[in-house]
Structure 1
Amino acid sequence: EYSTNRVTAVPYDPADREIWNRFVKSSKNGTFLLDRDYMDYHSDRFHDCSLMFYKKGVLIALLPANHLKDEGTVQSHGGLTYGGLITGASFTAEDALEVFSCAIEYMKDKLGANRWIYTPIPYIYCSLPAEEDMYALFRNSATVRKTEVASVIDMTNRIPFRDSRKYGISKAKKRGLDVVEGNFGPDLEAFWNVLAGLLDAKFGSKPVHTIDEMRLLQSRFPDNIKLYLVKEADTVLAGTIIYDTGTVARTQYIAASADGKNCGALDFLFWHLLGETFATRRFFDFGGSTLYGGNHLNEGLIFQKEGFGGRAVVMNTYEMLF
């Protein structure tokens, strides 16, 4: 462990798993992605250097992080959409300053690091205001390294769909299509074939997860990870995998076949999910639409998300040098 004036940093140990997970559940900004049962699915690919911060013997914050030794870099977190400090309701701006200075001293001293990459948890995922870390970033001369634009719908203040989306919905209705919740056996496989084919043809890329990883994660978080499909007979026309935190429903993957695109299957799918399935969520997050570290906006993709009423929430990644 490592102590500064008021705060002690303790490196995470797998024996602390339950303490970590309990804190995430009771925090004001933690989500299931930051639960160890989620985070650790790719622990073989990341050198974990997560920290737990104590003040007067009480756990006040967690930092999910991984260490890139060769680059002298700590990332919060390299394998997740967001990381940053996970904090409780009593956490203050002053606490954040103390935790940051303790973390930086620890990283320099114990890890030989000179750089900290930090992606805060977006405000839409917080149950209470939780931007204490943003002030600490400023005080530690953090610079913006990357800006990702997510398209988000405030479900308490929705704006109408664009006509192009409405046209797609009416086409799908005329065809008599239905939205169903899919299973993670044959349904996932059928969706994955559409998704993988699409990513390969368009970007020469693969899904971030393998199908086996997706099944593993869904088996650990069956209430949070769902598959929704538009099918005709046994053919998947369109689908999405949703990560549902209870506050925010987020699209992790979206795909449609050529036929699905022509008949408005995706428009119909999101019309249903927004109007019925997730109508009671606070936010619906379509995720990002940028490429190359935020330097290229995929205009076709964001046009579609904005057509459903999504508007910009930026996700910044910061860099601190020390």
Structure 2
Amino acid sequence: MIKDISLKVVRYENRYKNDWDKFVNEAKNSTFLFRRDFMEYHKDRFEDFSLMIFKDDKLVAVFPANIRKNEVFSHEGLTYGGLVVLKKLRTTDYYSIFRELLFYLYNANINYFYLKEIPFFYNSIPNDEWKHLAYITNAELYRRDLCSVINLKKDFAISKSIIRDAKMGEKHIDLFERTTNFKEFWNEILIPELFAKYQTKPVHSLNEIVFLSEMFPENIQLYCAFKDKKIIAGTVLFIFDDVVHVQYISGLQRYRKVGILDFIFHELINNKFKDFSYFDFGISNEQNGRKTNKGLLFWKESFGARGISQDFYKFSTSNYPLIDQMYL
């Protein structure tokens, strides 16, 4: 493989914002998470190292990333990442771009970069070229998560116990609807319940989720069940073109055994989002995929969800010459 001298890698700067966002909107493997307004809500926590790849001065790929201790990550503040490319890009061009990315990082004295896979159902068309290159360059699989996902376009079975409990839950609420009252959900439900059960706190602060929901009102939605005009349970959803992702789930402890959450998700899956293709409950594992919350996994699968893996790879930048050797 001969180095493509028409390719140029540059660090992202604010002056490229419009070009970046326009490209993300048209890419085959991108979501609103890669928009600069979303990526930069936590810029105080991550040192940005996003890259843009041009071919003959035309933008052909972007790489959302941050740098930490001289290692680059396909952004630690995002659920997934990697090289974002256009739909028409051919595989051999992808190889050249990826090779150039590795070469650029190598020359910047960055020994490793870490890539977290975009699960296939978020892509508009196939996007596994990077996985082939992970094999070619001897990248290390260092983590594998399992997402619980419902294919809404295929037959899926919701368990009889969920249906029963959902009917029971409906009787214990006065109202179920979308709301913008993130403050009450965060302060009265999510924060105290997460701490009581797991001794953790939400990834997003209240100010951050309010900012993001106002910036992306159609993509970030809160659905809650109410009793006596107070929120007793709810979920925050990230809405993509054809995929619903569950970002947060929480409810008051005293209502946990009467089917409120079962009702909420039964309603969302069978009515509100029934015309989407995938409903992604997210992962039920911790410690780099080594440990699984068995009860949580069982509950998600009771709605008909099944496992789809998400891989995390560590690339050695010095292995870029292996891409040069891959052609017959």
Q: TM-score if structure 2 supplies the norm length?
A: 0.92
User: Residue by residue, what CA displacement relative to the aligned partner does 1:106-161 show, whole Å, maximum 9, x if unpaired?
Assistant: 11212x21011001211111111122211122211112111111111111014121
CA contact (8 A) 1:147 1:293 kept: yes
Q: What's the secondary structure of 2:247's corresponding residue? A: strand
CA contact (8 A) 2:53 2:97 kept: yes
Partner of 2:91: 93
User: Residue by residue, what CA displacement relative to the aligned partner does 1:156-181 show, whole Å, maximum 9, x if unpaired?
Assistant: 01412112211211212333543211
Quote how far apart the aligned CAs of 1:55 are. Answer: 1.9
Which stretch of the first structure deviates more once superposed, 117-126 or 189-198? 189-198
Matched residue type, 1:76: S
Equivalent-residue separation in structure 1 for 2:44 and 2:155 (angstroms): 42
Equivalent-residue separation in structure 2 for 1:216 and 1:197 (angstroms): 21
Within 5 Å, give how 1:18-97 maps onto structure 2: 18-68=18-68, 70=69, 72-97=70-95
Structure 1 residues without counterparts, runs of 5 or longer: none
Q: Which runs of 4+ in 1 moved over 4 A?
A: none
Alignment identity in percent?
A: 32
Equivalent-residue separation in structure 2 for 1:174 and 1:201 (angstroms): 26
Q: What's the secondary structure of 1:302's corresponding residue? A: helix
Equivalent-residue separation in structure 1 for 2:82 and 2:213 (angstroms): 24
Partner of 1:189: 183
Partner of 2:196: 201
CA contact (8 A) 1:151 1:306 kept: yes
Pairing 1:294–2:289 present: yes
Q: What's the secondary structure of 2:254's corresponding residue? A: helix
Within 5 Å, give how 1:244-255 maps onto structure 2: 244-255=239-250
> Would you say how many aligned residue pairs link Structure 1 and Structure 2?
314
Quote how far apart the aligned CAs of 1:6 are. Answer: 4.3
CA contact (8 A) 2:193 2:253 kept: no
Pairing 1:223–2:218 present: yes
Partner of 1:271: 266
| Structure with greater contact order relative to length (CA < 8 Å, sep ≥ 6) | 2
Equivalent residue in structure 2 for 1:214, among 196, 200, 209: 209
Equivalent-residue separation in structure 2 for 1:157 and 1:251 (angstroms): 20
Which stretch of the first structure deviates more once superposed, 171-180 or 53-62? 171-180
Equivalent-residue separation in structure 2 for 1:14 and 1:131 (angstroms): 30
Equivalent-residue separation in structure 2 for 1:315 and 1:106 (angstroms): 26
CA contact (8 A) 2:173 2:225 kept: no
Matched residue type, 1:118: L
Q: What's the secondary structure of 2:47's corresponding residue? A: coil
Structure 2 residues without counterparts, runs of 5 or longer: 319-328
Q: What's the secondary structure of 1:38's corresponding residue? A: helix
Partner of 2:169: 172
